[in-house]
Amino acid sequence: MAALADHARHTLDLQYYLMRDDASTRALLGRVDAAARRGVRVRVLLDDLNTAGADDALLCLTRHPNIELRLYNPFPAGRGSTLTRVLASIRDVRRVNQRMHNKMFVADNAIAVTGGRNLGDAYFVQSLASNFVDLDVIAAGPVVRDLSASFDRFWNSELAYPLRTLVTKDPDCAGPLAAAPPSPNGQRVVAGPQPVSSPDSPSGLPPADSPQERTSVEIPDSAFAQDLGAGRLQLAWVPATVLADAPSKIASEGDPDRSETIADDIVTLTRAARREVVLISPYFVPGKRGVALARELHARGVQLRVLTNSLAATDAPIVHIGYARYRRDMLEAGAELYELRSRLGAPRSRLGSFGSSLASLHAKALVIDRRLLLIGSMNMDPRSARLNTEIALVMRSPALAGQVVQLFEDVAASSSYRVEALADGRLRWVGQAPGAPTVEGSEPDAGVGLQWLLMLLSPFAPDELL
């Protein structure tokens, strides 16, 4: 992404659900600001759910006239905190419960990055506390125009509000962007624009996940950056299609028309499988429809393999209720279920090292017969299907599909539990790596208190809200 910002000549379009207040985001936005100062037109479209208290920082980000920021589906009142926002929107709960979950970074309508990744240390494996296993795809060629068209539809939507229509004050910014001196290895550490604000939130953006976070990061000169600078990108040229929800999905109040959502398209792709479906989804709530689809696939001899988070690994325990509710049904329907452990082993793939930090799955991918690959922002749960807007890229490529299957198999073998159903009604979690434990009857590595809490909340957590 930094390389795309560095080499952009005309436009940068950023569409995100979440931008954290941490070193990685500030470093990347520093590169975006530098592009604006070179004359590049920058448009930032950000969902408003996680921007409580961030108005000053967002205004400082847009102080250059070439940077325009719009907030999607905003909270118009009570902007100082999440509590005041919710209270001010209590009569509009249905609307504010639906969010723009799309993620893309597009340069010059020619090259784009899209997938499951938000902006923040944890999404770039830079957090000292916990990091996400995530997945993006770099796209070039005609398909990028389709991504840009989707961005434009959201940018021009009546739910996309220019920041200045919601916030009229003038922020006190800390001064111009400054680049730190080069580090010993020659890399620069870039700080983003920061307002003068409280010590609790030095930039005013949504706070980082842990108080023990990096104060700066170095953006390495990657092989992609070098190839981009030399004009010789090493890409696999394959047929590709964009699947994108319509902005009007949010106005549907949870009952979108088939033309507004890509959920049915994904089901259609899955049904087309002849041998194998590999699914990676951090938040997996199959519901009765998903169980029926698993049975249908099994009856046709199609192997369904699923990788999701364990309770100990997930960053959204409440969603785990919807997964656990159908876990045994999915196993009895013939599905293979793997749950990521909160501490990774030593995978053979290019996943990289997480050091001593905890891990959580955040990648979203679907592989059909090791030939068709989907990577996007959509989780396999009712919220993504009916409430949030999503986007995905579908590619027909055995080579790329094989890479994602290899990632699945490495993580399943080295860093996951395989879930099995026992005859007495209990479940068993079998550690796949040498020395990994086998646990029966209780969610592995998860506290008893958390398990009891979710058990108490389960009757009050219908699938459609998860």
Active-site residue (options: 134, 362, 381, 410):
362
| Catalytic residue from among 64, 103, 249, 320 | 103
Counting Cα atoms < 13 Å in the Cβ hemisphere of 418 gives 13
Per-residue pLDDT of 349-377, as tens digits, reads 555 555 556 899 999 999 999 999 999 99
CA–CA distance, 292 with 159 (Å, rounded to integer): 36
Nearest CA to 212 out of 148, 129, 272, 284 is that of 129
For 450, the token pair is 């958390």
Chain centre to alpha carbon of residue 127: 16
- What integer pLDDT is reported at residue 187 of this predicted model? 38
The answer to whether residues 205 and 171 touch, using CB atoms and an 8 Å cutoff, is no
Q: What is the pLDDT of residue 193?
A: 41
Q: What pLDDT is recorded for position 465?
A: 78
- Mean pLDDT per segment of 10 residues, for the chain of length 466 residues? 95 96 92 96 96 89 94 91 89 90 97 96 90 94 97 97 90 52 35 36 48 75 86 91 94 80 95 98 97 98 98 95 97 97 72 66 97 97 94 97 95 94 94 85 92 93 85
Which of 55, 364, 410, 463 is labelled catalytic?
364
Cα(417)–Cα(444) distance, rounded to whole angstroms? 9
Residues 6+ away with beta carbon under 8 Å from 1: 28, 31, 105, 113
Environment class of 363 (CB within 10 Å of its CB; exposed 0-12, middle 13-18, buried 19+): buried
Q: Where are the beta strands (DSSP E) in 253-369?
A: 276-280, 303-309, 336-340, 358-361, 365-368
Give the residue from 86, 88, 33 showing the smallest Cα distance to 57.
33
The active-site residue, picked from 101, 209, 381, 463, is: 101
What pLDDT does 162 receive? 95
* Nearest-angstrom CA–CA distance, 422 and 438: 13
User: 369 catalytic, yes or no?
Assistant: yes
Return d(Cα 364, Cα 374) in angstroms, integer: 8
Phi, psi (rounded to 5 degrees) for 383: -60, -45
> What's the gap between Cα 445 and its chain centre?
24
Q: Name the token pair of 350.
A: 């290019």
Active site residue 364: yes
Among the options 221, 265, 315, 369, which is catalytic? 369
Query: How many Å apart are CA 3 and CA 12, to the nearest integer?
Result: 12
- Which residue among 6, 108, 265, 315 is the active-site one? 108
288 is catalytic: no
According to DSSP H, which parts of 202-258 are helical? Answer: 223-230
pTM: 0.89
Q: Is residue 320 annotated as part of the catalytic site, yes or no?
A: no
